[in-house]
Structure 1
Amino acid sequence: MNKSITIFHWLPRILCVLAILFISLFALDAFKPGLTIWQQLRGFFMHLIPSYILFAFFAIAWKWELIGGSIFTVIGIAFSPIVFTHNYNMNHSVSMSLGIIMLITFPFVVVGILFIVSHYKKKRADLKK
């Protein structure tokens, strides 16, 4: 593998893990005083359900880059209006809502595009052999 293919092989994988770990940080709000440890753990694991789903999509993308890249791109684009509307209703600020979209959904669009680029770079390299 040449250097370009190696970079495009590992970059989406590393960024995807980082993005999923970032999303997983939001599950920590399940730990609140006044709840038993079992209630807190139940809430924590329930808050991690989106991360479990994203890791399942990550496993698909690892094996089949084109399919996984398409899934991540669609997820990022599809959730952008939902996240924007939710945050705009909470803070009534377009710029803050767009910033939150850039933090939460945009990384998955980038990861999806990078998986797709990686797929086509490897395909082109295989055709040249």
Structure 2
Amino acid sequence: MCLLLRQIVQQPGGGAHPFSLLFVSPAPAARDGGFYEKLAGFFIHLVPSFILVIGLAIAWKRPFAGGCVLILLSLLFTLQFNTYRLVSYFLIISVPLFVAGVLFIVFHVLAKKEST
């Protein structure tokens, strides 16, 4: 079991490209308005994705600190977006951030243990 866990956390992020988060956004283009209003709406809807990319970049450089940041982001997103109201929203938005944060912390602990 420990070998399987080690193989999972050897690659932080699980191989997903961090910039794939940049394009996860609701479609604000369906609103009425000019081009610049739609473009501004698009970037406003991407702010949470930009925050996640920053947290992921921190986690890649410093796994322990980044894991803590991702866990805090999961709590922040839970409170800000009220994902605690629906189980499906909570499982889709908050739980993956929490699990990723825990995996980065586990990776840090295992890497530290192997280096000593």
TM-score interval for Structure 1 and Structure 2 normalised by the shorter chain: 0.7 to 0.9
TM-score of the superposition, structure 1-length normalised? 0.72
Name which structure has the greater RCO, CA cutoff 8 Å, separation 6+.
Answer: 1
Identity %: 27
| Distance in 2 separating the partners of 1:17 and 1:76 | 17
Match in the other structure for 1:9: 10
TM-score of the superposition, structure 2-length normalised? 0.79
How many pairs align?
A: 114
Match in the other structure for 1:92: none
Q: Identify which of 12, 17, 38 aligns with 1:40.
A: 38
In 1, are the aligned partners of 2:24 and 2:49 still within 8 Å (CA)?
no
1:111 paired to 2:110: no
In 1, are the aligned partners of 2:75 and 2:94 still within 8 Å (CA)?
yes
Please state how far the C-alpha of 1:32 moved relative to its aligned partner. 1.7
| Distance in 2 separating the partners of 1:51 and 1:70 | 18
Please state how far the C-alpha of 1:57 moved relative to its aligned partner. 1.3
| Distance in 2 separating the partners of 1:47 and 1:82 | 14
In 2, are the aligned partners of 1:76 and 1:109 still within 8 Å (CA)?
yes
Gaps of 5+ in 1: 89-96
Runs of 4 or more consecutive aligned structure 1 residues displaced over 4 Å after TM superposition? 2-6
Q: 1:1-129 maps to which residues of 2 (within 5 A)? A: 5=6, 7-14=8-15, 17=18, 21=21, 24-26=23-25, 28-84=26-82, 88=85, 97-127=86-116
Q: Deviations over 1:9-67 (max 9, x none)?
A: 3243546849x72x8533x3211253222211111011111111211111111000000
Gaps of 5+ in 2: none
Higher helix share: 1
CA RMSD of aligned residues (A): 2.9
